[in-house]
């Protein structure tokens, strides 16, 4: 059991009482070892792969019909239950030259530890300079802007674009789930802990989750209007549990449909030139800044 899981378990027992033991038992029961049945996204047909962080399949199914430019083709079995697992299993196990023509634009800070930058055509870590302390996350627009710029200016054959939404905090709801780097440490309970302890209504959490997905899909719509690609796939790195099987959020090493079943949607892209991406100060984050960003997202 990891130290992070121990800390979380102690905190859960303090606030949630004996019922959290059911969650520990469930985590143990659904923990998997080496998995071989995950779908390999690199065996699928795409020119641009849009990764929505923490988007479970039924969340996409709830809104997909409202977006006529996007077809929810089927679902896939994710390679991981967390971003770090997905990055490791998706990129880390490929042959050394398999990513040479792939560009990666990402808002996920786990790229610092789980992505071999030298293997890609390029890696643009937008979270290093696009982080918003007020939101406690990387908003979608900087990802869109940098992906559009990459499509127009870079020579990579394939492009992976990793948005941080619909991962909490819910940007459009502004419900205070995010924290600034300065505030972190004073704010320790995530939306999942609040849901676990009965401090948040499950319907309200789901509504925030849906709103965050709609928010990022509007950005994906802007992206595909300003990018040339015959086939764009929209998927996720993992899902979230909202109390099913006594589980909450996403935990490494756990295999359930809520965590592993993610959407596979398809569309195409044509650059209409309708959007001119903003310029950003491409600075770097310190090691402490990386940890703080991950903690603000509820990862550590």
The pLDDT of residue 1 is above 70: no
Indicate the pLDDT class of residue 20, thresholds 50, 70 and 90: low
CA distances from 167 to 7, 96, 136, 282 (A): 22, 30, 11, 24
Which pair of structure tokens corresponds to residue 41?
A: 């996204």
Domain total for the chain?
1
Q: Where are the alpha helices (DSSP H) in 185-249?
A: 191-196, 202-224
The pLDDT of residue 36 is above 90: no
Residue 142 is predicted with a pLDDT of: 99
Nearby residues of 169 by Cβ (< 8 Å), 6 or more positions away: 135, 136, 137, 175, 176, 177, 178, 191, 212
Residue 96 is predicted with a pLDDT of: 83
DSSP string, 102-117: EEEEE--TTHHHH--G
For residues 184-201, average pLDDT: 72
Highest mean pLDDT among 164-178, 191-205, 219-233: 219-233
Query: Which of 26-40, 156-170, 259-273 has the lowest average pLDDT?
Result: 26-40
Length of the chain: 300
Residue 288 is predicted with a pLDDT of: 53
Contact 101, 285 (CB under 8 A): no
Residue 18, H or E segment: none
CA distances from 103 to 27, 47, 119, 209, 238 (A): 35, 11, 10, 28, 21
| C-alpha atoms less than 13 angstroms from C-alpha of 60 in its C-beta half-sphere | 31
- Its domain, for residue 271, covers 3-296
187 phi/psi in degrees, rounded to 5? -115, 105
Residue 219 is predicted with a pLDDT of: 99
Indicate the pLDDT class of residue 146, thresholds 50, 70 and 90: very high
For residues 129-144, average pLDDT: 95
The pLDDT of residue 12 is above 70: no
Residue 188 is predicted with a pLDDT of: 41
Highest mean pLDDT among 7-11, 18-22, 94-98: 94-98
Q: What is the pTM of this model?
A: 0.86
Q: What CATH number is associated with residue 240?
A: 3.40.720
């Amino acid at each position: 059991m990891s130290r992070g899981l121990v800390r979380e378990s102690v905190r859960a027992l303090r606030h949630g009482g004996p019922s959290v033991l059911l969650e520990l038992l469930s985590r143990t029961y659904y923990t998997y070892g080496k998995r071989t049945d995950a779908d390999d996204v690199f065996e699928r047909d795409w020119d641009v792969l849009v990764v929505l962080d923490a988007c479970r399949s039924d969340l996409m199914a709830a809104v997909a019909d409202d977006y006529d430019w996007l077809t929810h083709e089927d679902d896939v079995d994710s390679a991981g239950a967390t971003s770090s697992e997905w990055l490791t299993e998706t990129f880390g196990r490929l042959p050394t030259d398999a990513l040479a023509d792939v560009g990666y634009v990402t808002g996920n800070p786990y790229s610092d530890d789980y992505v071999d930058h030298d293997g890609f055509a390029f890696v643009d870590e937008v979270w290093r300079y696009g982080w918003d302390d007020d939101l406690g996350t990387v908003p979608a627009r900087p990802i869109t802007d940098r992906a559009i710029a990459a499509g127009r200016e870079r020579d990579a054959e394939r492009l992976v674009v990793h948005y941080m939404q619909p991962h909490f905090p819910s940007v459009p709801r502004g419900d205070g789930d995010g924290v600034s780097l300065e505030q972190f440490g004073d704010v320790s309970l995530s939306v999942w802990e609040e849901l676990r302890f009965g401090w948040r209504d499950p319907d309200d959490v789901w509504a925030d989750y849906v709103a965050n997905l709609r928010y990022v899909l509007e950005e994906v719509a802007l992206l595909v209007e300003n990018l040339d690609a015959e086939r764009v796939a929209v998927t996720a790195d993992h899902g979230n549990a909202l109390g099913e099987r006594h589980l909450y959020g996403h935990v490494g090493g756990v295999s359930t449909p809520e965590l592993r079943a993610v959407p596979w949607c398809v569309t195409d892209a044509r650059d209409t030139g309708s959007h001119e991406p903003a310029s950003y100060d491409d600075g770097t984050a310190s090691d402490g800044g990386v940890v703080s960003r991950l903690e603000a997202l509820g990862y550590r």
